Amino acid sequence: MTMTSLARRGLVPGLALLVAVLAIASLAAGPVRLAPSDIVAALLGRGDDAIRTIVTEIRLPRAILAVAIGGILGLSGAAMQGLLRNPLAAPSLFGAPQSAAFAAVATISLGLNDALSWGLPVAAIAGAFLSVFVLVAVAGRNASLLLLILSGLAISSLAGAGTALAMNLAPNPFAALEIAFWLLGSLEDRSMRHVALALPFIIPAALILYMQRGAFRALSLGEEAAESLGVGVSRLRLVVITGVALGVGAAVSVAGTIAFIGLVAPHLMRPLVGYDPARLLVPSALTGAALLLAADIAVRIIPATTNIKVGVLTATIGVPFFLWLIVRERRSLAGGVA
């Protein structure tokens, strides 16, 4: 008992340390390998000019975005799982990033937005909101696994079809290439401009979701019991959808679709927090940040003729993981455990 509570107390600081180490590694990794001392000097505004430019203008925005986006994806996954009381719930399975990408692509194709305007995250957030809202509305109050997965599949297919249509109608190959960018999530060549575009949405989203932690715990007993404990369940549903849409929409608008972090991160952390959906939130966010940082470092290290996109890497790891989860759930369902 004391051992586990000790381990629990050390969990968040430990994960924070891991994120910090990976963030520094992310500043060091790339075509020009840098020593930690160079990085510290560059961050403090000292040292070689070229190194300073590499660190602060090329690698720092990338590391910040990896932390923010990985963090909000992990947090959104944990929040959705808490709301729907289902370990298979995650924004990416429900078509939220795909819908956000479609909304972004549509506004660009229609000439309503360019890639660095405020309209872009707003459109992406609206797309994500709509998809999660439709999903929760379709799946309803006592969302079963099957209903969630099927409606999520329908929504992401629809968003995918919309994006494909936009590509199909693209006036030239360059436009098609730009659209493809949203499908292959990446943190390459991002600037502080992108950071400034995303953080004003991601930070409030994180706060909104974090503030619902007590309600998620009460929801462990089902909606009726939660309501009787003073949780406004329909209000909670709307708040969580809004938080997830803000976070995922903003993430997609600067980095494209990066899938499965929201599914994997909470799953890794759940046994370590005693399956408590409230205590799950912060460790999931930190794990999401660590996972995306690590993936983004990996794509720079893996030898390949062209750069592998980080979204492709997370999907290649995430999909088998998802399959494994389904197999596990199938066993537990067959075993009759509710």
Partner 1 sequence: MSEVAHLLVADGVGVAYGGCPVVTDAGFRLDAGRLVALVGPNGAGKTTLLRALGGLAPSTGRITVAGTDLAQLPPRERARRIAFLPQGHVVHWPLSARDVVALGRYPHGLADPSRMGERDAAIVDAALARTDASAFAGRQVTTLSGGERARVMLARVLAVEAPILLADEPTAALDPRHQIGIMAALREEARRGALVIAVTHDLGLAARMADEVMVIDRGRIVARGEPRAVLTPQLMRDVYGVDALVTEHAGEPVIVPWTAP
- Residue ranges that bind partner 1, judged by CB under 8 A: 1, 5, 8, 85, 213-214, 217-222, 224-225, 227-232, 274-279, 337-338
Provide, rounded to whole angstroms, the least separation between the CB of residue 2 and partner 1: 12
Distance CA 330, CA 325 (A): 8
Distance CA 214, CA 212 (A): 6
| Choice between 56 and 220, CB closer to partner 1 | 220
Provide, rounded to whole angstroms, the least separation between the CB of residue 229 and partner 1: 5
| Angle CA 93–68–300, to nearest 5 | 85
Provide, rounded to whole angstroms, the least separation between the CB of residue 327 and partner 1: 19
> What residue has token string 């925005």?
61
| Choice between 59 and 279, CB closer to partner 1 | 279
Distance CA 235, CA 215 (A): 11
| Choice between 111 and 230, CB closer to partner 1 | 230
Provide, rounded to whole angstroms, the least separation between the CB of residue 240 and partner 1: 16
What amino acid is encoded at 98 in this protein?
Answer: Q
| Choice between 34 and 80, CB closer to partner 1 | 80
Distance CA 1, CA 59 (A): 43
| Choice between 1 and 44, CB closer to partner 1 | 1
| Angle CA 209–143–316, to nearest 5 | 70
| Choice between 55 and 231, CB closer to partner 1 | 231
Residue 179 CB coordination number (10 Å): 23
Provide, rounded to whole angstroms, the least separation between the CB of residue 148 and partner 1: 14
Distance CA 68, CA 52 (A): 22
| Angle CA 257–263–264, to nearest 5 | 105
Identify the CA nearest to 69 among candidates 246, 270, 309, 308.
246
Provide, rounded to whole angstroms, the least separation between the CB of residue 155 and partner 1: 23
